[in-house]
Amino acid sequence: MNTSINSNFLKEMGITEWVPRELPVVLSPDEPAPQNRVPQSAHPSNLPEKSSMGTWWFFGGKPQGDAEVLFQNVIRTLGLSPNEWEWKNPSDNLSALNTSANRLPTVAVAFGEKAAQKLSGERDSLPELRETVLALDCQLEDEIPLIASFDLSYLLSKPGEKALLWQDLLLARSVLQNI
């Protein structure tokens, strides 16, 4: 994925991007390349391809309009391919969700307080549910971690809180990496 696109999405969400020094710097086409800025061994064509980390399930009211644009930006920023994520309705029968071969989700994200409460079985408000790794309340063999976050439509009315959504997504990614 193009690094400048990711940077633009993060900027749009009001998030400051931090880049570790040991990662190669990708320049925009109009920027002159300083001498020895990116070593040949770190050139993007020489880096290993990103491997799939698992499947993400996103729960909540299906986003529409600007909320759909925000969700697509989240997917792009996370670098997820279409086969790495699915949108689910929180009112679906969770025990009947498709967990067929190699599609078992490893992390679920609930957008909105009602979705988070329904999926986790918890009754706390969203501020108490956020920043906590919950469990998807279903009858599946393996426990599926659930991260509660804000409803996407709410974030459109409070753009300053998009950074909190990013924190929730980073928590979900961290959980996924530690499974």
Which residue is listed with tokens 């790794």? 133
Q: pLDDT (tens digit, 9 = 90+) per residue, 1-33? A: 556 666 776 667 666 655 544 434 444 444 443
Where along the chain do its domains lie?
3-46, 56-177
**CATH for the stretch 56-177:** 3.40.470.10
- Which positions of the chain have pLDDT values less than 70? 1-6, 9-11, 13-52, 96-105, 140
- Strand, helix or coil at 107? strand
- pTM exceeds 0.75, yes or no: no
Q: Where are the alpha helices (DSSP H) in the chain?
A: 3-12, 66-78, 113-120, 126-129, 152-157, 162-177
Q: Quick one: pLDDT at residue 115? A: 96
What are 127's two structure tokens?
């501020």
- 73 to each of 12, 54, 56, 128, how far by Cα in Å? 9, 19, 15, 26
